[in-house]
């Protein structure tokens, strides 16, 4: 069974969000997503300084099995990316909630979090997918 930390929020597109005290959210793909993808061999991250709308394609993850778009879980501006995973994409498989994070996003003031769910709701969502 996939690890689903209870202190994070989740999107239906299998990304997680972590709040912090500086007003941005750290984003990555879930343990479930990295398990489904298999060994990740390439990552394309969003552009720092660019704003993305909720649900907009903002990156790409390729594995030995397939490629999967990364969709922005909320609207906002990308303020940092994890360059370490570009050179070492396996970090996503090894530690999806730690060193394998993807980017930091500063949410728009008008963010609608209606699609964002808690750990219990996400667990129900992935059970439907299995």
**Contact residues for 67 (Cβ-Cβ < 8 A; gap 6+):** 60, 61
CA distances from 3 to 8, 120, 126 (A): 11, 12, 11
What tokens were used for 104? 């930091």
| Residue carrying structure tokens 């940092």 | 80
pLDDT digits (tens, 9 = 90+) for 86-116: 999 999 999 999 999 999 999 997 766 678 9
**How far is it, in rounded angstroms, from Cα 33 to Cα 116?**
16
The mean per-residue pLDDT over the stretch 3-9 comes to 96
Q: Is the pLDDT of residue 122 over 70?
A: yes
| CA within 13 Å, CB half, 82 | 23
Q: Is the pLDDT of residue 41 over 80?
A: yes
What tokens were used for 80? 């940092």
Closest residue by Cα to residue 92 from 62, 52, 50: 62
Q: Is the pLDDT of residue 43 over 90?
A: yes
What tokens were used for 4? 């689903």
H or E, element range at 113: none
The mean per-residue pLDDT over the stretch 30-39 comes to 96
């Amino acid at each position: 069974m996939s690890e689903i930390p209870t202190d994070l929020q989740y999107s239906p597109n299998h990304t997680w969000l972590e709040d912090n005290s500086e007003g941005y959210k750290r984003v990555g793909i879930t343990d479930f997503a990295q398990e489904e993808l298999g060994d990740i061999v390439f990552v394309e991250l969003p552009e720092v300084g660019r704003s993305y709308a909720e649900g907009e394609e903002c990156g790409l993850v390729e594995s030995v099995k397939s490629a999967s778009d990364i969709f922005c879980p909320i609207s906002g501006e990308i303020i940092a990316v994890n360059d370490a995973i570009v050179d070492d994409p396996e970090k996503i498989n090894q530690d999806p909630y730690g060193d394998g994070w993807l980017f930091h996003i500063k949410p728009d003031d008008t963010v609608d979090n209606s699609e964002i769910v808690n750990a219990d709701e996400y667990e129900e969502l992935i059970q439907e997918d299995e």
